[in-house]
Structure 1
Amino acid sequence: MKINKYNSIVTNLNQTKQTAKEVEKETAKPAAKENVQVSISKEAQALLDADKATFSARVDSIKSAIQNGEYEVDASKISQGLVKKLQKQKEI
């Protein structure tokens, strides 16, 4: 019969599709993550802690100025920053 003639072709085609799906699943799996350890020297840690302390002091001074109503916003700095940002966006 003619149906049996095409049956093997359809079977081969289905097997090919199944194999392609399996390959796609295997390649889509994320690679195993490697364990990476980083160590920071004592000097670097001291610099980091000093930076945190300086930043924290700056934030505290700004907070207190805002609470006391003494904080002044420099509109020219803000506008200059906005202009620079817009110019960079136009370049991209």
Structure 2
Amino acid sequence: MNPERLYSILQGAHISEKANMIADQKNCFTFRVLKDATVSEIKEAVETIYEVSVSKVTVVNVKGKVKRSASGKTKKPNWKKAYVSLPSDHEIEFS
């Protein structure tokens, strides 16, 4: 796979209360990824960038919210979230 594509697939870690709870309980980390990324591409990108072995990848398409203001309604863009499960002896450090 193209190395430039690998490094552009992961847009960043998704940090939320739910993501932290899942990371503590199940050793599963949450990432914001490109909308056209596939499960195999996400797995390869995480293994390459963080040098860990990935046991499972699950993706979720998140619908953008509609926001109201005085000038009317606007819609936030849709995006894709990936849950990456690691074996119990592996860990990803975000610093």
Fold shared by both chains (TM-score > 0.5): no
Which one has a bigger Cα radius of gyration? 1
Instruction: Choose between structure 1 and 2: higher strand proportion.
Output: 2
TM-score (norm 1): 0.18
TM-score (norm 2): 0.17
Q: Whose relative contact order is higher, 1 or 2, with alpha carbons under 8 Å and at least 6 apart? A: 2
Instruction: Choose between structure 1 and 2: higher helix proportion.
Output: 1
